[in-house]
Amino acid sequence: VTEYFPPLKNFTPAPADKFVSRAQIPRFTKITQEQFEELSRSGQPFVVDDCVTEHPLMGKSCDDFGKLFPNGKMKANYGDQIIKLSEKTWSTKARMAKGEKQHLSKGVKIADPYVWHVKDEEPLPVKRSVQEYWKTPYFLNGTHMNRLEAWDSFEMWFSLPDGGAMAHSDSYNEMTISAQFTGTKKWRLMMFPELNTIFDSFESFDTGVYKVNKWAPEYEFDVGPGQCFVFPPGYMHETWSNPDINDVCATATTFQFNAPFPAQYIRNFLPRFSNSHLVSAENAMEIYSSYATIAKVQPKPTSDKAEIQRRVDSKFADLDADKDGKITEEELRAFFLTNPKGKWGQAYEFAWTRYIKDPQVKKEMAKERGEYRAGDTLAWHDLNEDGHVSKEELLQTFTQWNVLVERHRALMKAKASKKAVAQAKTIEEKYAKEYMCPTGPSQCPVVDRIRAKKGKNRESVVWFQGDEDEEKERKEL
């Protein structure tokens, strides 16, 4: 992590109670398209200081939202109580959740924030009434894909003084933006910790990282009115509305965008993500596969070296149009936009696409998809970042993908067995010996930890658990 992210070059991890804010979150005003795309593909978290300064909802208070959208129905973040925005007391009377010493609030009970899932829990007429007030940030307006994804995917957050969220990792497999309309929110964040096997997995939703003593924040920073924080899948974060600077209910929004895909980031940290909730519960491998395999339909994974080499040779022949021994972004763009073998790269399917009827917009979106896929594919496979992909690089990325997916499918099959833990231990030991024991299995800490794993029940392995466990935890909070 410290070698990958430039702001963390000299960072030394420390527990939350010993945290000193040294790493500086990158901040931008008038961010350029080139900066935005480079940061997004690399997964570098960053802040845009002029993100939503011209948004129609800027400056709107919690009470204003209740007046504008009286039929809206939201939930307390740590509970399932439905609350109408038109109710009179929610914006002034706090619902207190549990405290946590490792949280920014240092153990003080936090005020449970409210989340309004406009995107997927409201009737369409209500959603459309809110969308009339929506304005996508300027750096996303260059493409239909991003403008419409932001317009369709937003939810609203309302935090009273001392409100906040415990450290967690979201379930999205795309880049996310949190923008502030009123009030100032303090953030701490940390890259998802290294996990060598599924037996290292932990509850990655609220408070789970505290319980396993892995919370070691890297950044601490404020996001105020008009500003937004942009972050990639898997990056753990906690928030707090400091009552010293927030004396009333604050308003914010969270939404996603589609392009570019954080391809370089996902590929670089794929081994740890393969042991996380992003893969075990969110079907991430299916999302990642087209970038990793450069294919519409994912070939059956294999760890056979000769077969992987054959696939590399075949794919390289398709992509290296001028036969100079390297694949460039221009060649990838031509493959996805003009080559019949690559036309699948222009396909798109998002929650909002059924509402797009204009043939010209559909045509432009297909072109956008193909062009961004070219850049994202290059970012996935260009290991040394020299602007092109060599055959050796493609061999490395294909090998990584095939081994991890082959292992993943074996573990998913074991997950359905009555002897899931025993079978998983056998699978994990096999792959650890082959790929994680440079000095041999006789002196391999990973193998030792697998063998020392106690418990035979599925409940003893967090990776085997599902969304119902997250809901239970949230209600307890």
Percentage with pLDDT > 70 across the chain: 97
* Band (455; pLDDT cuts 50, 70, 90): confident
Exposed e or buried b per residue across 313-325, where buried means at least 16 C-beta atoms within 10 angstroms of its C-beta: eebbeebbeeeee
**Among the ranges given (49-58, 275-284, 316-325, 436-445), the one the predictor scored with the smallest mean pLDDT:** 275-284
* Band (281; pLDDT cuts 50, 70, 90): low
Other Cβ atoms within 10 Å of 99 Cβ, number: 13
Burial of 333 by CB count in 10 Å (0-12 exposed, 13-18 middle, 19+ buried)?
buried
Task: Strands of 46-154 (E only): list them.
Answer: 46-48, 73-76, 82-84, 114-116
Share the mean pLDDT of the chain: 93
351 is written with which tokens?
Answer: 């929650």
**Among the ranges given (129-133, 347-351, 455-459), the one the predictor scored with the smallest mean pLDDT:** 455-459
Is 467 a residue whose pLDDT tops 80? no
Is 3 a residue whose pLDDT tops 50? yes
Q: What is the pLDDT of residue 280?
A: 66
**Among the ranges given (124-133, 136-145, 380-389, 431-440), the one the predictor scored with the smallest mean pLDDT:** 431-440
Contact 214, 202 (CB under 8 A): yes
Other Cβ atoms within 10 Å of 185 Cβ, number: 25
- In this prediction, residues 160-175 reach a mean pLDDT of 92
Q: What would the pLDDT profile of 46-99 be if each residue is shown by its tens digit?
A: 999 999 999 999 999 999 999 999 999 999 988 778 999 999 899 998 888 888
- In this prediction, residues 364-386 reach a mean pLDDT of 97
Q: What is the pLDDT of residue 469?
A: 44
